[in-house]
Structure 1
Amino acid sequence: MKDKIRVGQIVNTQGLRGEVRIYPLTDRKERFEELDCLYLEDETNMELEIEKVRYKNQLVILKFKDLDSINDVEKLKNKYIAIDKEKIKELPEDTYYIFDLVGLEVIEEDNTYIGKLIDVIQNPTQDLYVVQHEDSKKKIFIPAVKEFIKEIDIDKNIIKVKLIEGMME
């Protein structure tokens, strides 16, 4: 699935007519309206053609073509769904997809190696970069703001940061 990007998780069924509830893993859930199909992230990599999209609170409700009953979609619960990588949107400058950031080496401004970025926690106020420290099993949480994130260079595989006292304790 290296050529696919995860965009959501099927968290439950919706009604009896084959609809599913999707927890979107994208900051713009309306994006689902622009898609024709999705792929299951499992051993089948099954292509699911989208028939209908609607919304309920923070969830996306999808109806897939040829899956017309609760029995057809029950087996999809808790599975992740993905799109072709080529269908991702171009981002504005200084904006990155999480999959581009995870795995980057994190260094301080003086080039001291800190560790690897292992996750990004998305919060309403700002994202938090989770860095696995190289010398310990400790995780460092760095707010994704200009005060702390000084440079991101995807080509060089680095994120330069400025840490303040207490961040690495």
Structure 2
Amino acid sequence: MKSSSKLTGREDLVLVGRVTGAHGIRGGLKIHSYAESMALYQTGEGIMLTLPDGSVRTMTIQWVKPHGRGLLMGLESVNDRNQAENLIGSAFFIDKSRLPVLEEDTYYWFELVGLSVYDTTGFLLGRLDGVIPTGSNDVYVVKGKINGRSRELLIPAIGDVVLNIDLESKTMIVDLPEGLLAEP
């Protein structure tokens, strides 16, 4: 995901969604949320937005409700459709401290993206570029150069394959299934 946001370098914030449209005439916003739960979006809570022009604003959530695969949301000072349309494309961030604590050996996707991924021999496979949810288990998208060629590996996020994740050293060790590195 490309972002020129002034907030993306801030370690205390996490990207949780984007404004995808306006809803109604009273300033409602259509939101594509990256969060699994609406619990992050509470009435009265503040969010930081990076607007399409690159400016940053802190706003308070007035209301939120589910809508199809996304959310509808009202923000303070957004009172009509024109104001809502001006926010289309904005990214929203919240303070990481608002995220629920996870169980041991469970990670947020944003913690994993960017990790250097190595096989059991110490060979650098590439960097973790994304996570694909599949229902049964996630799949890690690893991009790198292997044998001089740019490659994208899809690695199942299961215990038999992912042997170690070290957030401090920003590394992941994997035991690849046989044939995963075979030439196409």
Task: State the TM-score, normalizing by the size of structure 1.
Answer: 0.91
Distance in structure 1 (CA, Å) of the matches to 2:137 and 2:104: 17
Q: Match for residue 70 of structure 1?
A: 81
CA RMSD of aligned residues (A): 1.7
Tell me how far 1:119 sits from its aligned partner: 1.6
Name the stretch that deviates more: 61-70 or 111-120.
Answer: 111-120
Q: Match for residue 3 of structure 2?
A: none
Tell me how far 1:34 sits from its aligned partner: 6.5
Distance in structure 2 (CA, Å) of the matches to 1:124 and 1:23: 19
Distance in structure 2 (CA, Å) of the matches to 1:35 and 1:126: 34
Unmatched 5+ stretches in structure 1: none
Match for residue 110 of structure 1 among 110, 121, 125: 121
C-alpha change, 1:143 and 1:162, in structure 2 (3 Å) is same
Q: Match for residue 11 of structure 1?
A: 20
**AA at the equivalent of 1:162:** D
Unmatched 5+ stretches in structure 2: 1-6
Name the stretch that deviates more: 126-135 or 15-24.
Answer: 126-135
Task: State the TM-score, normalizing by the size of structure 2.
Answer: 0.84
2:71 counterpart of 1:60: yes
2:150 counterpart of 1:137: yes
The number of aligned residues is 169
Distance in structure 2 (CA, Å) of the matches to 1:92 and 1:122: 18
Distance in structure 1 (CA, Å) of the matches to 2:32 and 2:139: 20
Which secondary structure does the structure 2 equivalent of 1:95 belong to? coil
Distance in structure 1 (CA, Å) of the matches to 2:145 and 2:169: 19
Distance in structure 1 (CA, Å) of the matches to 2:50 and 2:171: 29
Name the stretch that deviates more: 108-117 or 158-167.
Answer: 108-117
